Amino acid sequence: MDTMNIALPEDMKQFVQEQVSLGGYSSVSEYVRDLIRTDRKEKVRMALETEVLKGLRSGDSTPMTDEDWAEIRRKISERHADRSKS
């Protein structure tokens, strides 16, 4: 695991140390990792909500056809194959 040093004002440093003590974290590093994981999840949730809103605002829905589902399956298969190559 790599190390990263950060500089914090005294009040933020005290806040972090309090969170470690009160939140049951074993270290400042564990607390910061939890913050990063939480931020990642929030960004994914926001991106998903954005896509849902785009869909809701895109107009009236139409019934899905067998061709629509086949195209979705094809695109997902292609994406999966591309990720497997990486």
Rounded CA-CA distance 34/30 in Å is 6
Q: Is the pLDDT of residue 82 over 90?
A: no
pLDDT confidence of residue 77: 96
**pLDDT given for residue 64 in this prediction:** 95
Domain span at residue 29? 24-57
Q: How many structural domains comprise the chain?
A: 1
Q: Is residue 51 part of a domain?
A: yes
**For residues 29-47, average pLDDT:** 97
Query: How many angstroms separate the CA atoms of 52 and 47, rounded?
Result: 9
Q: Is residue 71 part of a domain?
A: no
Q: Is the pLDDT of residue 84 over 90?
A: no
Q: Cβ of 29: how many Cβ atoms within 10 Å?
A: 13
Distance CA 63, CA 65 (A): 6
Q: Is pLDDT of 8 > 90?
A: yes
| 75 domain residue, yes or no | no
Q: Is residue 29 part of a domain?
A: yes
